[in-house]
Amino acid sequence: MQDLKISKRKPSYPVTTKLHDYLTRYDRNTKIPIFYDDLLRFQGSIVVYDKDDNDTLWIRVYYNEFEREEIDSSLKKVYTILHSDGNENILPFLNVDAIDFCTFGNSKPFRVKIRNILNDNFTYFYIKTTDASRIYGLELEHMLSPYNLNFLVYKNTLIEEHISGIPGDEFIKNMLPKCSKSEKAQIAKEFVKFNERCMIRLLGDMRSYNYVIVPTHDFDHVVYKIRAIDFDQQCYEGKFNIYRPQFFKENLKMVELVSESIQKLSIDQYKTEERSILVKRLKSFSVRIEKLLDCMVNDVISKEENIDQLKSTIFDYTHDVNFKRSKNMGEILKYALEFLTRNYENIKLENLRSFDDD
C-alpha cells in the first residue's frame, strides 16, 4: 500500500474546436440559460453538516432577492434540458430547494437540489467549470463502463447529472463491517473489476471518496456495484499506480477484503472477465471511441513530464514500443486500448485452436 501523491492543483484544459465538434455531434453541446460564473455571485453562505454534525465541506449559498428568482428559473430550465429535452411544461411543478458550493477539490462544483412539489421527489445535478480532461473522463465512462452518463457542455460550463450511491469512504467505515461473508466476497470481486477498469482506461485518483457503492436488491440478496463519480484525473498523472485504486491507503480495507475473500486464480479470472467486457464495449462504440481518441490525440491534457513518466512505465509493463513513441496522453490511451484488444483477440484465437485440437 502506498501513500500516493496527487498533483495539488490540476489545471483546467480548454475545449478544442475538434472536441467541441465531437460534443455537438453527440448532443452533449447544448445552449443553457445560466453559467457557472453566474452562481459565484452569492451574497453569503452557511456550512452544511451531515446527520452526525460533521462538516461536509459543502456550504449552502444564498443570493439577493433580485437575482434569486432569475437564478431559480434558469436552474429549473437546466434541469428540464438535462432530463426531458427542455420541456417547460413541468417548470411550475419544480422547486430549487438548495444550491450548495464545494470548497474542496479541483472542480469547486455547485450542487443543485431540484424537488417536484407534487410528490416531493427530488434529485441533484452539478454545475462545474468546463475542463477537457474531465469531459474525456465522462465520455469514456459512458462508453467503457456498465453505466450511461448524462451531461451537458456549453462554453465554460459543464452540467453533470447526480450519480446515486453510498460514498465509498462512508460505506467502508460504517457498512462494510456489517456485510455477510458472501456480500464481502461479492464486493471484493467488484473492487477487482473496478480496479482493472480504471487502470486500463487511465482514470486516476479513485480514492474511497471518489467512487460510490450502489446496492441493488435482487431476489433474496443484495448486489453491490462500484461507480466512479469524479473524472477530474482522466489521463493526467504520470505515476501509473495513481490509475490503480488498490494502491491508495484510503482503499486499504477493500484490498484486505480482496486478499481475505478471493483466491489469486479467481482474481485473474475476474480481471480477464473485465478485459473481455471492455473489448466488447470498445467494439460496440468503435466509431464514437475512434472520434473521441482522435480528439485526445490532438489535444493537450497533461504536462510533458507526466507523459514521459507514464509512457515509460507502461512500456516497462508491456514492452510495446508504441508506448515509447507516444507524444501525448491521447496516444498513450489509444495504444493501451489497442494493446488490450490485440491481447484479447490472441487469447480468443488460442482458445479456438485448443477447442479444435480437442
pLDDT digits (tens, 9 = 90+) for 97-128: 999 999 877 789 999 999 999 999 999 999 99
- Residue 349 pLDDT grade (very low, low, confident, very high; cuts 50, 70, 90): low
Please provide the DSSP assignment of 264-331 as one string.
Answer: HHHHHHHHHHHHHHHHHHHHHTHHHHHHHHHHHHTS--S-HHHHHHHHHHHHHHH--HHHHH--SHHH
User: What mean pLDDT do residues 284-292 have?
Assistant: 97
From the list 241, 158, 161, 154, the residue with the least C-alpha distance to 206 is: 241
What is residue 9's predicted lDDT score, i.e. its pLDDT?
77
Of 37-41, 51-55, 119-123, the least confident: 51-55
Enter the C-alpha cell of residue 297.
490525440
> Among the residues of the chain, which ranges form H helices?
17-25, 36-39, 65-84, 132-144, 168-170, 181-201, 252-261, 264-284, 286-297, 304-318, 321-325, 329-357
**pLDDT tens figures, 263-278:** 999 999 999 999 999 9
pLDDT at 356 over 80: no
pLDDT at 11 over 60: yes
pLDDT at 335 over 90: yes
Query: What is the maximum alpha-carbon separation in the chain?
Result: 79
d(CA 228, CA 342): 26
User: What mean pLDDT do residues 167-196 have?
Assistant: 96
Tell me the percentage of the chain whose pLDDT exceeds 70.
95
At residue 258, the 3 state secondary structure works out as helix
pLDDT at 328 over 60: yes
User: What mean pLDDT do residues 134-158 have?
Assistant: 96
**Domains, in order of start, for the chain:** 17-161 (no CATH), 166-357 (1.10.1070)
Q: How many residues are given for the chain?
A: 358
What is residue 3's predicted lDDT score, i.e. its pLDDT?
59
pLDDT at 84 over 70: yes
- Residue 358 pLDDT grade (very low, low, confident, very high; cuts 50, 70, 90): low
Please report which helix (H) or strand (E) contains residue 96, including its range: strand 94-102
Mean pLDDT of the chain: 93
**pLDDT tens figures, 131-143:** 999 999 999 999 9
What is residue 251's predicted lDDT score, i.e. its pLDDT?
98
**Cα Rg of the chain, angstroms:** 22
Tell me the percentage of the chain whose pLDDT exceeds 90.
84
Enter the C-alpha cell of residue 63.
443570493
What is residue 345's predicted lDDT score, i.e. its pLDDT?
81
pTM for the complete prediction?
Answer: 0.93
